[in-house]
Structures are given as structure tokens and as C-alpha cells.
Amino acid sequence: MAALCRGRHRWKRTSSLHVLTRTLTGNYDYDLVVIGGGSGGLACSKEAAQLGQKVAVLDYVEPSVQGTKWGLGGTCVNVGCIPKKLMHQAALLGTAVKDAKKYGWQISGPICHDWATMAEAIQNHVRSLNWGHRVQLQDKKVKYLNIKGSLVDEHTVKGLTKAGKEMTLTAKDIVIATGGRPNYPTNIPGAMEHGITSDDIFWLKKSPGKTLVVGASYVALECAGFLTGIGLDTTVMVRSIALRGFDQQMAGLVTDYMDAYGTKFAWKCVPKSVEKLSSGALQVTWTDTHTGDEHKDTYDSVLWAVGRAPETKALGLDKLGVELKKETGKIILGSDESTSVPNIYAFGDIGEGRPELTPTAIKAGKLLARRLTGHSTELMNYDNVPTTVFTPLEYACVGLSEEEAEKRHGKDGIEVYHAFYKPLEFIVAERDASQCYLKVVCERGGQQKILGLHFTGPNAGEVTQGFALGFQCGATYSHLLQTVGIHPTCAEEVIKVNITKRSGLDATVTGC
């Protein structure tokens, strides 16, 4: 029967008889169909294919509100980690060029930055990654389909091409890894019409110019950081606090550094409207919630960095009874990434309560593939996930914030070791190191198990990745003391830390 041929897509031919026959025989087009070719979906599909499964991955990018489009690879590759880190690097280079003069480099004339050159180079790199992903899928014999997928039943996916053509695929298992997209505020006139998001900023051909960034979490601070760093007049509008969920002492250091670096902050302010003037400038009106006063200013760009929403609406999940968390719209998952419907799994940014990070999506995807193919029973461990905020002064952490440790163990149940240190590189360059700081939050009793590690400074992510391994192995404060440093580095300051917060002693590191 044609409908039971494996590997052939049937255009508009799903019938109830077909579904019944298929269920009885267990014969499908694919062993696994993955909807979403981002960090997680690609990792899961490649792993399953390598383990002998017949796999298809569907990836389709709905253009942003402003019409920006991109290729295969999902958020991280196209509109997230990769272009963000490269723009962050562009900004760091600006600081390095200024430092270079102090180190004897003769640089004549003013230092200025050209957006178009940076953007073109980064966009070309992203395109090469898009191509690389296609080649990898081909090499690993994963069928890539540039179609928008939705669920018909627990074994059937309907795909829609850009041209509106429909196709149906059947699979033993279906994985949803469709990620999320940036939010726009719905109650602010002009917000959507005139504003951009992180889906657009990395693909602009022209400099965004004077920019208002609304929001105060990862995306907002990272974008505002690199925009300031390349010389643009940048303001961050914060409605409450910066970096909610992070250790607030560290968040304060990050924003203090940005403030000194040139980023402007409008604290406790909420935007009211965005209007395009005849000059083309965007006039933003906002309210200072502290005083109740209304203010206006004009910008070339308004970047909304007010959170992200899951891509679940178009998937037809409600018809199948896939349970979603009402407040967030994300899929409720078991520890094995199972949804409430058998044979349908999900992970990555679409999963309720999951960290919205690339490495967790990749690892969860690979582990799921191994479990689905019977090669392992290992579950993803979402505890102790390290992360870095790539702001001008980077901040990396693993484990609990001081506030959270205090909440769980009591103020007297924790010991916080801390240090203000000066990176050697800053000294000759005469850079202010007031916000270069680290703290190790430990249990107070016994071996002083480390509960949280926080670090601001150059290459914070590189420094913290290794410590995250120690953390995963259950490191204690005495393990830190037993570790020999690498000199001269910023990372060695972590293993040298010896002043407790409780002592009230000056935590400034002096000498080697």
C-alpha cells in the first residue's frame, strides 16, 4: 500500500483508514520527526540519525514583524548567541584599541566604528553556519525540510511550504523544539510599527544610531552593552530591576560598569508611546513611575527586549491535548522531556521551566535521542547550569545567588567569601576595576560545600566554565583552597578568595 511506503512523503493524503492501518503495523515514514531546526532540534535529529534512526527535521522561519529573515540553525546561530557574541567582541575591541595606546601602539586620528563592515562580516559568518548545518544534516542522513510543521495526531505531522503546499509525514516519535520569539508590548501605541527586536538588530545593514533599549535582562543589557561599545548613544529603560533572578549584588556591578562605560539608564521608567516624526526620528514618551512625571526624547531606533514567547500557537497542540502552562504558553514536560501525549516530546526554549540556553537545549536533545533509540536511560540534569551575561564587563555564574542561598539555608547557614580584584590587563591601561568582583557562596558548616559562584570580569564565561565542572563534582571551599592557581590570571583570584563577607574586612585584593 502506497501509504505505508517508508521515506515517501504523501501530499494531502492522510485518512483515518491510513492512520488506523499505520497504528496497527507500526510502519511510519520516519522513526523520528523533529519540528524546529535550532540548537536543540538539530542536535537531537543528528544524534538519532547517528544511532541508526530514520529522521526528518523541519525548520521554518517566520519573518520578524519588521520582515527580517534568516536560515537554518535557529535563534542561537541567527539572532542570538553567535551574532551577539561577535558584536560584543566588536565592542571589546574598541576598548582594546583605547588600551593599546597605553601599551605603545601609535594610533593616529579618532577611533570610529563602521556598522556596515561589522554587520556584513558577522552576517556572512552566520550564513556560513547556515550552510554548515545543511551539510551536516546531509552527511548524517537527516532529511531537512524547510517547511512549517504542525501536529495532526501523535504520529502525524502536517507540513506547509512557503508556497502554501501541504505535505504529511508520519513518525514513531515526534519532537517539538520550536523555541521562542521576542515579545512586543501590546499596549504601547507605535511599539510594533516602529520598534525592532533582537530578531532584527543583528541583520541591520545600517547602524541603528541613537537607540532606546527597553528591558533589563540578558538581551537588553547585552545589546545595550555592545551598542554603547561601538560608540552609539544608548539608553536602557528599566521598569523594575536589572537581571531579575540573578544575584542582585552582581547585577548592580554589571549596570554600574555599564553606566561608567557610557550606557545611560532610565530606572523605574515605562514607555507610553512611540511616534514617528516627519524627520524620521522616533519620539518616545515614557513615565517615570517613581515621580509620575512624563518625559519625551527622540531616538533613531527603539529595541524591545522585553522577553520571549514560545512558538506553540501554530502547532495545533490544543487539538491533541498537549498540556501547556497557561501563564507562559510553554509545554509542560516530564523529566524525560515527555509531553502529556505519548510519542510527543519537547525540550529547549519551548519547555516550561527549562533554562533558555543553547547548551541545555543541545544536551537535552542529544540525551532524548539516546533514550528514544534505547541507547541510554540518562536524563538531562538541569541543576547547576552555568551561564554568562555578555555585558561590557562580563558576568558569569553557576549555582545559587546569595539571596537564594540565604533563603534556602538561612543567613547564618551560609558563608560568603569574596574579593574585589584588579585584572593585570587593566593596570597598565589605567582602567577602572571597581566592579571586578567574585564571590563564592558556601554552606557554613562541614566541608563548606559551594552553593554558588559568581564572577564579573574579562572572559567571565571562560573563567567560570572550568569551575562549573568542579561545582558539578560537589566542590567545597576546601577543594578551592587545595587548588593551585595559574598565574597571572583573573581565574586564580577564585581559588585565592579568603575574606568572608561576615568579617566585614576589606575584600580588595592587594599584591600577587
- Interacting residues toward ligand NAP by CB under 6 A: 185, 214-220, 222, 239-240, 244, 270, 305-308, 355-357, 387-390
Among 47, 173, 311, 337, binds ligand FAD (CB under 6 A): 311
Q: Please answer whether residues 303 and 195 qualify as being in contact, where contact means their C-beta atoms are separated by less than 8 angstroms.
A: yes
Q: How far is the CB of 445 from ligand FAD (least distance, A)?
A: 34
Q: Which is nearer to ligand FAD, 315 or 414 (CB)?
A: 315
Radius of gyration of the chain (CA): 25
Q: How far is the CB of 410 from ligand NAP (least distance, A)?
A: 26
CA atoms of 283 and 60, how far apart (whole Å): 35
Instruction: Specify burial of residue 350 (Cβ count, 10 A radius: 0-12, 13-18, 19+).
Output: buried
Q: How far is the CB of 63 from ligand FAD (least distance, A)?
A: 10
Residue 361 touches which of ligand FAD, ligand NAP, none (Cβ within 5-8 Å per kind): ligand FAD
- Of 9, 125, 454, 487, the active-site residue reads 487
Q: Which is nearer to ligand NAP, 150 or 217 (CB)?
A: 217
Segment interacting with ligand FAD, rule: CB under 6 A, options 231-239, 308-316, 452-460, 471-479: 308-316
Q: How many whole angstroms from its chain centre is CA 263?
A: 22
Among 97, 121, 314, 427, binds ligand FAD (CB under 6 A): 314
278 CB neighbour count, 10 Å cutoff: 5
Tell me if residue 9 is catalytic. Answer: no
80 binds ligand FAD (CB under 6 A): yes
Q: Which of residues 160-179 bind ligand FAD (CB under 6 A)?
A: 177-179
217 labelled ligand-binding = yes
CA atoms of 160 and 306, how far apart (whole Å): 30
CA atoms of 250 and 403, how far apart (whole Å): 11
- The DSSP letter of residue 352 is T
b/e map of 10-44 (b: 16 or more CB within 10 Å)? beeebeeebbeebeeeeebbbbbbbbbbbbbbbbb
Residue nearest to ligand NAP (CB): 217
Q: Which is nearer to ligand NAP, 85 or 375 (CB)?
A: 85
225 binds ligand FAD (CB under 6 A): no
Paired strand residues for 301: 211
Among 22, 148, 172, 330, binds ligand FAD (CB under 6 A): 148
218 labelled ligand-binding = yes
331 binds ligand FAD (CB under 6 A): no
Q: Please answer whether residues 259 and 228 qualify as being in contact, where contact means their C-beta atoms are separated by less than 8 angstroms.
A: no
222 labelled ligand-binding = yes
Q: What type of residue sits at position 339?
A: T
Which strands make up the sheet holding 437-443, listed edge to edge? 387-389, 395-399, 450-456, 437-443, 414-420, 499-500
Known binding positions for FAD = 85, 149, 349
Enzyme catalytic residues: 487
Binding-site ranges for ligand FAD (CB under 6 A): 35-41, 58-61, 74-76, 80-81, 84, 148-149, 177-179, 198, 219, 311, 314-315, 348-350, 356-359, 361, 390
